[in-house]
Each structure stands twice: as structure tokens, then as C-alpha cells.
């Protein structure tokens, strides 16, 4: 069972529902080898996207807490390359990597009662590290943050310098707040 589905509505349009966490590879149950539910796997998502990418209109409903940064960026970049009009709709939550995917819409819609959350790179470390290992990790995380800020700066129509403070800590926005920041185009029903 996939945490997303894609449906061809007619010759010109398609719809995607993304309701799960974004990952590079869907994890499997160690006991039986079956895929775990609730994950949007990058490879299979992009493979399925190939089937509908030439539609003139694609609507994407999102309800996701995010997940893997580079899986989210890959989906964002592929959706930005779609020739037709992409409409993203935040049905409940577009957080972390899902907030980047949300920005791929030519038209981005928020519900008044949905939330948008952005933050800089964070990670869990466990193991044995020396100073050089940690310095390399900081270098990588700074590069990751630059990629994130570039997406938001483009979406908000501001410079990189103006946008970089946006990912300090966590930023939570409701529908109208996201519109006011330039991270959504409209609030549904307003």
C-alpha cells in the first residue's frame, strides 16, 4: 500500500494525493520483509509520475510531516519541470520536506485550517565522531540549508539573504500567514 495515489481524471488532467512521510526508500518490516505503510518512496513516486507528467493540469493534495530532504527536493524539482500547470493544495500539513514539495505548485492553495512548517536541517547522530567528522557534517548541513533557502527565496520572491532567517528554528504558518509570506497563493474559500 502506497502513501500516495495518482489518478488520471481525463485526457488532460490528473490528481495526486500525498498522505505520508517522504523517504528515499520505503522501509520494510524486518520480520516479514513487507513494506511499512505511511511512506512516500522517491523512486516509485518518480516512476509513477512519468505516467502523468504530460498532462496539462496536475493537482497535488498534500498532508505530510515531511521526511528526507533530498527525496523532497528531488520531487520538488521534478514537479517544477512538469510542462502543465501544477496546483498544490495543503489539505492539513505541509511540513519540512513536504513544505518544499508544496512550493512546486504553479498555484499553491492552503486551507484556512491547514499548517505549513519550515525549518533548517536537523539530524540524529549516534556513533563515534572526531572533530574532522563533525566539521564535515557542518559543511554538509550548511549546503543543505542553502538548498532549502533557495527554494523559499524563489517562492517568496525575495533574495537569498532575506530568506535565510526564515529557517532559523521552526516557522509555523496557517493559511493566510503562508499567503502573506508568499509561500502560498490563496486560501481556499476566502
Q: Is 96 a catalytic residue?
A: yes
Say if residue 112 is exposed, middle or buried (CB neighbours under 10 Å; 0-12, 13-18, 19+).
Answer: exposed
Q: Quick: pLDDT tens for 89-126.
A: 999 999 999 999 999 999 999 999 999 999 999 888 99
pLDDT in tens, 125-170: 999 999 999 999 999 999 999 999 999 999 999 999 999 988 988 9
In the predicted model, is pLDDT for residue 1 greater than 80?
Answer: no
Q: Select which of 61, 64, 99, 119 is catalytic.
A: 119
Q: How confident is the model at residue 190 (pLDDT cuts 50, 70, 90)?
A: low
Strand partners, 87: 59, 107
Among 151, 65, 58, which Cα is nearest to 103's? 151
Q: How are beta strands 85-95 and 115-119 bridged, if at all?
A: parallel
Report whether pLDDT(78) > 80: yes
CB atoms inside a 10 Å sphere around CB 150: 14
Q: Which of 61, 64, 96, 114 is catalytic?
A: 96
Contact between 144 and 69 under an 8 Å Cβ cutoff? The reply is: yes
Model confidence pLDDT, tens digit, residues 12-56: 999 999 999 999 999 999 999 999 999 999 999 999 999 999 999
Amino acid at each position: 500500500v502506497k502513501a500516495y495515489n495518482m489518478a488520471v481524471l481525463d485526457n488532460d488532467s490528473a490528481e495526486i494525493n500525498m498522505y505520508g512521510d517522504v523517504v528515499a526508500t520505503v522501509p520494510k518490516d524486518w520480520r516479514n520483509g513487507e513494506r511499512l505503510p505511511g511512506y512516500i518512496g522517491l523512486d516509485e513516486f518518480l516512476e509513477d509520475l512519468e505516467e502523468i507528467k504530460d498532462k496539462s493540469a496536475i493537482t497535488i493534495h498534500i498532508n505530510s510531516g515531511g521526511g528526507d530532504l533530498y527525496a523532497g527536493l528531488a520531487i520538488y524539482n521534478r514537479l517544477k519541470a512538469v510542462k502543465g500547470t501544477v496546483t498544490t493544495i495543503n489539505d492539513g500539513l505541509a511540513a519540512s520536506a513536504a513544505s518544499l514539495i508544496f512550493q512546486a505548485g504553479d498555484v499553491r492553495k492552503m486551507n484556512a485550517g491547514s499548517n505549513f512548517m519550515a525549518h533548517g536541517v536537523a539530524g540524529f547522530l549516534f556513533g563515534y565522531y572526531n572533530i574532522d567528522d563533525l566539521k564535515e557534517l557542518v559543511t554538509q548541513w550548511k549546503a543543505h540549508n542553502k538548498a532549502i533557502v533557495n527554494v523559499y527565496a524563489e517562492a517568496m520572491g525575495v533574495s537569498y539573504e532575506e530568506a535565510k532567517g526564515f529557517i532559523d528554528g521552526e516557522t509555523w504558518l496557517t493559511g493566510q500567514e503562508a499567503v502573506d509570506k508568499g509561500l502560498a497563493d490563496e486560501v481556499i474559500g476566502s
